[in-house]
Structure formats: structure tokens, C-alpha cells
């Protein structure tokens, strides 16, 4: 397959250009994935507190905890006895409340963390009513205002990030298309010459299409490698990012970068070949 030595530098520039654009898109995708994981983490840190009536037997509190652990909305539960509650509150206040009052005013409780899908006002209210069916439960509370404000903020952020992602995807497609077509510009005379000596469209486009697939794959690999290095550096500087790492979504993102690089590179190259085949010789100058 000989396409011409003069075209090689253009292909190098095209590969570099496409790699940079894919890397930019991949970086945004990584930020979106981290934002999604961070949103989930925030939601799953919301605590639903179940207070028991005073002097409820320990086996009753344990029984309710076991029931809650079996529910689909439950991620984690923690049982806090009256004595443990007093100790924790005394640490916060900086003095022994029990000694000051002469008795323990606190109640045994269960702290419940739900999965992110249930961290909304309607679901939490249903959970509250479900728990209140137990006659040993005194009160069920959760930070209502915080939940509403948090979900409103996350919706706003998701809309903004979604709009940016769509604009960037559009820009990526346009930039890659222009970069590849510019690289093909140096081959226009070669394409026309092959047509004039009798080669058909398939024969002419085949080597260019094959080269475009290879170039797109190389560009994607370079972009993926760059993104991986960026992730490693960021996680070494901010170890907290490791807790947000979603391996499945990261792999899907990297595969998408490879596929996008190959697909757009091939489509742009094929369009360019057909364009020059349809043009008159005088129009090539």
C-alpha cells in the first residue's frame, strides 16, 4: 500500500491533533464520572435516625435492626445504645451530661444510611413511615432541608455538565473531521491520478480507509494513555480520588475514546476521498 511519502507528515499531524481532542473529551468524561461517584457518596452519607422509646429491651432494637438490614433501600445500619449515645454526646459537649443531669436523657437509636437511589424526599418519607409502624419506635428523623437542597444542586450541576459534554462532543466531531480532511488535502492529486488511470472507487478508497482506521486507533491509544497518566498523577496527589474510582465506567470511557477516534477518522477520510473523486482536475488547484 503506497499512498505517497509526502502524505506522511500530514498523517502525523492528524494523529497528534485527533489525540489531543480525544484526550480533552476523555478528561471531561473522567470528571463527569468522578462527579457522579461523588454525588452518590454524598447521598449515601445522609443518615436516617430512628429513636426508640425509653427502656425498650435490647432484643427489640436488635430485631428492628435485622428487619431494616433486609430492606432493599438499606446500605448500612448502626445500632447505638443509650450508654453509647450518652458517651458520644458528652464528647461533643465536653462534659458528662449524665453526671450533670443525674440521669441519661438520651435514647437508643439506629442510624440508617440508604442507597443513593432512595436519597430523595419522597423515598425517605416512605422509609420513615415504614419504620414508624413499629410500636417500639419513638421518632424517625432525617435532614429534610439538606436533602432537598442537595438534590436541587446536583440536578443543576448535572444539567450544566450535560450541556458542556454535548457541546464538547460536537466540537470534537467537527475538529477531528477538519483535522483529517486537512491531512487528506495533500493526497487530492494522488486520488485523482488513480481515478484517471482507471482505478475504481473501492480500489482508491481502500488504502486510505485502512490507513484512517490505523491512525484513528493510534490516536485513541495515545489519548487513552494520556488520560490514564493524568488519572494516576491526580490520584497520587489527591488520594481521596481513589474512593471515587469507578473501574467499569472508566473502561467504558476509554473504549468509547478508541471507537470515536476510529469511527470519525474513517468517516472523514472516506468522505474526503469521495469528494476529490467527484471534483474536476481544475478544481483541485
CATH classification at residue 79: 3.30.70.3040
Lowest mean pLDDT among 30-44, 65-79, 86-100, 200-214: 86-100
| Together in a domain, 85 and 128 | yes
Alpha-carbon gap, residue 75 to 68, rounded angstroms? 10
| Together in a domain, 113 and 253 | no
Of the residues 87, 107, 142, which one is the last residue of a structural domain?
142
Which pLDDT value is given to residue 10?
60
Q: What is the pLDDT of residues 226-257, one digit of tens each?
A: 999 999 998 888 887 787 778 899 999 999 99
| Together in a domain, 109 and 163 | no
Of the residues 114, 142, 170, which one is the last residue of a structural domain?
142
As given in the structure block, the three cell numbers for residue 212 are: 484512517
Question: CA torsion angle for 250, 254, 259, 264 (degrees, to 10)?
Answer: 110
| Together in a domain, 110 and 244 | no
**Distance set, CA 275 to CA 84, 148, 175, 268, 281 (Å):** 77, 55, 18, 10, 12
For residue 87, give its domain range: 47-142
Of the residues 93, 110, 142, which one is the last residue of a structural domain?
142
**Residue 113 banded pLDDT, cuts 50, 70, 90:** very high
Residue with the larger pLDDT of the pair 57 and 177 = 57
**Residue 277 banded pLDDT, cuts 50, 70, 90:** low
As given in the structure block, the three cell numbers for residue 167 are: 457541546
158: in domain: yes
Helix (H) / strand (E) containing 69: helix 58-69
Answer yes or no: are the C-beta atoms of 47 and 249 closer than 8 Å: no
232: in domain: yes
Averaged confidence pLDDT in the chain: 80
β-strand partners of 50: 110, 140
Closest CA to 7 of 215, 216, 196, 217: 215
| Together in a domain, 106 and 225 | no
147: in domain: no
**Strands of the sheet with 109-114, listed across from one edge:** 74-80, 109-114, 47-52, 137-141
20: in domain: yes
Average pLDDT estimate for 2-11: 49
Q: At what angle do helices 247-278 and 201-237 cross, to 10 degrees?
A: 150
Please give the backbone phi and psi of residue 96, each rounded to the nearest 5 degrees, phi first.
-80, 105
| Together in a domain, 249 and 271 | yes
The HSE-up count of residue 208 (CA atoms within 13 Å, CB side) is 29
| Together in a domain, 227 and 247 | yes
**Residue 13 banded pLDDT, cuts 50, 70, 90:** confident
120: in domain: yes
pLDDT at 171 over 50: yes
Which residues neighbour 162 within 8 Å (Cβ) at sequence distance 6 or greater?
A: none
| Together in a domain, 157 and 118 | no
Alpha-carbon gap, residue 209 to 216, rounded angstroms? 10
Alpha-carbon gap, residue 260 to 266, rounded angstroms? 10
**The most confident of 86-90, 96-100, 174-178, 264-268, by mean pLDDT:** 264-268
Alpha-carbon gap, residue 48 to 104, rounded angstroms? 22
Say what percent of the chain tops pLDDT 90: 24
pLDDT at 281 over 60: no
| Together in a domain, 132 and 160 | no
| Together in a domain, 133 and 18 | no
Number of domains in the chain: 2
**Residue 221 banded pLDDT, cuts 50, 70, 90:** very high
178: in domain: yes
Average pLDDT estimate for 31-48: 86
Report which DSSP code applies to 71: S
| Together in a domain, 36 and 52 | no
The residue written with cell numbers 502524505 in the block is 7
| Together in a domain, 31 and 118 | no
135: in domain: yes
Alpha-carbon gap, residue 262 to 240, rounded angstroms? 34
Which pLDDT value is given to residue 7?
46
Alpha-carbon gap, residue 247 to 251, rounded angstroms? 6
SS3 category, 187: coil
pTM of the shown model: 0.67
Amino acid at each position: 500500500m503506497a499512498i505517497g511519502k509526502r502524505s506522511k507528515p500530514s498523517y502525523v499531524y492528524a494523529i497528534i491533533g485527533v489525540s489531543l481532542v480525544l484526550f480533552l473529551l476523555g478528561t471531561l468524561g473522567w470528571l463527569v464520572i468522578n462527579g457522579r461517584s461523588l454525588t452518590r457518596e454524598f447521598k449515601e452519607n445522609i443518615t436516617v435516625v430512628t429513636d426508640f422509646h425509653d427502656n425498650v429491651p435490647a432484643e427489640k432494637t436488635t430485631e428492628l435492626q435485622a428487619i431494616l438490614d433486609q430492606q432493599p433501600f438499606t446500605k448500612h445500619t448502626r445500632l447505638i445504645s443509650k450508654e453509647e449515645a450518652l458517651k458520644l454526646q458528652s464528647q461533643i459537649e465536653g462534659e458528662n451530661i449524665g453526671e450533670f443531669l443525674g440521669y441519661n436523657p438520651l435514647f437508643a437509636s439506629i442510624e440508617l444510611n440508604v442507597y443513593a437511589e432512595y436519597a430523595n424526599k419522597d423515598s425517605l418519607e416512605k422509609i420513615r413511615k415504614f419504620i414508624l409502624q413499629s410500636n417500639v419506635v419513638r421518632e424517625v428523623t432525617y435532614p429534610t432541608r439538606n436533602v432537598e437542597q442537595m438534590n436541587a444542586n446536583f440536578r443543576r450541576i448535572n444539567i450544566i455538565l450535560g450541556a458542556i459534554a454535548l457541546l464538547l462532543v460536537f466540537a470534537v466531531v467537527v475538529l477531528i473531521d477538519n483535522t483529517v480532511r486537512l491531512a487528506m488535502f495533500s493526497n487530492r492529486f494522488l486520488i485523482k491520478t488513480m481515478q484517471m488511470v482507471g482505478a475504481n472507487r473501492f480500489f482508491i478508497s481502500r488504502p486510505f480507509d485502512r490507513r484512517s482506521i490505523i491512525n484513528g486507533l493510534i490516536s485513541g491509544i495515545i489519548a487513552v494513555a494520556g488520560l490514564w497518566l493524568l488519572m494516576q498523577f491526580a490520584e497520587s496527589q489527591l488520594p481521596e480520588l481513589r474512593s471515587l474510582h469507578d473501574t467499569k465506567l472508566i473502561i467504558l470511557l476509554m473504549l468509547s475514546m478508541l471507537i470515536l477516534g476510529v469511527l470519525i477518522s474513517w468517516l472523514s477520510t472516506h468522505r474526503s476521498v469521495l469528494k476529490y473523486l467527484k471534483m474536476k482536475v481544475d478544481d483541485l488547484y
